[in-house]
């Protein structure tokens, strides 16, 4: 049981009469990279929002490292070690790389000054460098404001946060949806680095090639339910598409959708 990073049972979310997520049972093991696939509106993002505390679930339980958790907000989740790279990048354009990495959790000195406590720029720069090196992110000048960076560099900065803070679980919501080919490759490299370091990851993606390249296991959502749990070795793109479109439903999920 100890190697289960995240477990959900009967995780359910209703928006009024809309059953956006229905009875999701899910497990993620240590060092495992899992992809979540499904059509638009299938419940992928809803599932993630329940785990990260962005929304409050209607029903169900969530365990993180064997401990039942109930996050009041995304901050709680982050403090517990879940780092999320959101579809909309949560970066402050006018700040530079270390500022963004440490936004809301700055390293400070003179803490008796309360809100006017001093920023320890040096320590934050060093930690940023270490974090970027770990993910092999190349950014020419970390003092540049985010505004002046390409989409890929921004995405890398967002992802580098996870590496800097040694998160227990990383969740990426379509990290390459808006990126070019080269930038996508860079982000995928970072994901591989996380894999080598044994950091668990949930990846939401529409990109079949990417999913087949990167992850160990694929979970397919359809109309708010999990309809398949596929090991990468035992499936292929066509198979997954069949599950996504509803042509097939996993044996253990029969009757679910």
In whole angstroms, how close is the CB of 76 to another protein at the nearest point? 10
In whole angstroms, how close is the CB of 75 to another protein at the nearest point? 4
In whole angstroms, how close is the CB of 142 to another protein at the nearest point? 6
By C-alpha distance, which of 68, 75, 80 is closest to 53?
A: 75
- The beta-carbon contacts of 49-56 under 8 Å, at least 24 apart in sequence, are 49/13, 50/8, 50/11, 50/13, 50/21, 51/6, 51/8, 51/11, 51/77, 51/82, 51/171, 52/77, 52/82, 52/84, 52/171, 53/77, 55/13
Binding site for another protein (CB under 8 A): 74-75, 78, 86, 88-95, 99, 103-106, 108, 113, 115-119, 121, 125, 129, 132-134, 136-145, 147-150
In whole angstroms, how close is the CB of 103 to another protein at the nearest point? 4
159, 179 Cβ separation under 8 angstroms: no
The per-residue b/e assignment along 156-180, b for 16 or more CB within 10 angstroms, e otherwise, is bbbbbbbbbbebbbbbbbbbbeebe
Question: Within a 10 A sphere around the Cβ of 57, how many other Cβ atoms?
Answer: 23
Q: Identify which of residues 16 and 114 has a Cβ nearer to another protein in the complex.
A: 114
Q: Identify which of residues 153 and 184 has a Cβ nearer to another protein in the complex.
A: 153
Q: Identify which of residues 92 and 247 has a Cβ nearer to another protein in the complex.
A: 92
Q: Identify which of residues 148 and 245 has a Cβ nearer to another protein in the complex.
A: 148
Q: Identify which of residues 181 and 251 has a Cβ nearer to another protein in the complex.
A: 181
In whole angstroms, how close is the CB of 241 to another protein at the nearest point? 33
Question: Within a 10 A sphere around the Cβ of 75, how many other Cβ atoms?
Answer: 13
217, 232 Cβ separation under 8 angstroms: yes
SS3 content of the chain, % helix, strand, coil (to 5): 35, 25, 35
Q: Please give the Cα distance from 188 to 184 (Å, whole number).
A: 6
In whole angstroms, how close is the CB of 10 to another protein at the nearest point? 28
Q: Identify which of residues 132 and 179 has a Cβ nearer to another protein in the complex.
A: 132
């Amino acid at each position: 049981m100890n190697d289960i990073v995240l477990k959900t049972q009967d995780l359910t979310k209703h928006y009024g009469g809309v059953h956006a997520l229905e009875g999701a049972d899910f497990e993620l093991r240590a060092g495992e990279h899992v992809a979540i696939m499904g059509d638009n509106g299938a419940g992928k993002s809803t599932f993630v929002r329940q785990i990260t505390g962005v929304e409050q679930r209607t029903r169900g339980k969530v365990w993180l490292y064997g401990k039942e958790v109930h996050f009041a907000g995304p901050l709680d989740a982050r403090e517990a070690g879940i780092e999320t790279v959101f579809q909309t990048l949560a970066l402050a354009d006018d700040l530079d790389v270390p500022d963004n990495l440490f936004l809301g959790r700055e390293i400070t000195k003179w803490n008796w000054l309360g809100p006017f406590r001093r920023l320890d720029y040096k320590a934050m720069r060093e930690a940023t460098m270490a974090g970027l090196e770990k993910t092999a992110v190349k950014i020419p000048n970390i003092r540049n404001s985010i505004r002046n960076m390409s989409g890929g560099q921004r995405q890398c900065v967002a992802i580098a946060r996870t590496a800097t803070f040694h998160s227990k679980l990383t969740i990426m919501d379509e990290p390459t949806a808006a990126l070019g080919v080269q930038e996508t490759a860079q982000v995928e490299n970072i994901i591989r680095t996380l894999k080598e370091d044994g950091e668990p990851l949930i990846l939401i993606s529409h990109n079949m090639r990417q999913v087949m390249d990167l992850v160990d296991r694929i979970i397919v959502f359809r109309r708010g339910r999990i309809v398949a749990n596929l090991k990468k070795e035992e499936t292929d793109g066509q198979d997954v598409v069949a599950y996504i479109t509803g042509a097939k439903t996993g044996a253990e999920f029969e009757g679910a959708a």
